[in-house]
Amino acid sequence: MLSIGEVEQLTGLSSRQIRYYEKVGLIHFQRTPGGQRRFVKHDIETLLRIRQLLDEEGDIEGVKRRMEREQQLGQKPLSDQERAKLTSLYPVSDRPGLLRALQGIEVPKPKRPSK
């Protein structure tokens, strides 16, 4: 478990930003009996995702909507490796692979006719 100071260093966010994201309901932290916030790896990933979405969406309301949609759809954000594989969307030669990467779902590979 990490302290807020350690999280600041890992994410580049200020403690004020982190507390604000908690206040608006974007993230929920564990607390010690003394009330101090304690963070786990998932919290760091969520804070980094919030930071990324702020760049894309422009405001907190946009981030909230986007995170709610992703949660409802059970989507996970693409990793840098997954993004690197997606060099072009047209023409799509591996549609099932693209769907798996974009939606995080299993799409059966097409069966080849037997000879």
84 and 63 share one domain:
no
Helices 4-11 and 15-23, interaxial angle, to 10°?
Answer: 100
Give φ, ψ of 10 to 5 degrees: -75, -30
Residue 87: predicted pLDDT = 57
Find the mean pLDDT for residues 53-61: 82
69 and 83 share one domain:
no
Bridge partners of 31, per DSSP, are: 37
Q: Where are the alpha helices (DSSP H) in 1-115?
A: 4-11, 15-23, 41-57, 60-73, 80-85, 95-103
CATH code at 22? Answer: 1.10.1660.10
Residue 16: predicted pLDDT = 92
62 and 83 share one domain:
no
Residue 19 lies in a domain: yes
Residue 81: predicted pLDDT = 63
55 and 84 share one domain:
no
pLDDT tens readout for residues 13-39? 899 998 898 898 888 888 888 888 888
Residue 3: predicted pLDDT = 83
Residue 112 lies in a domain: no
pLDDT tens readout for residues 65-90? 888 887 776 656 656 666 666 555 55
Mean pLDDT score of the chain, rounded to an integer? 75
Report how many domains make up the chain. 2
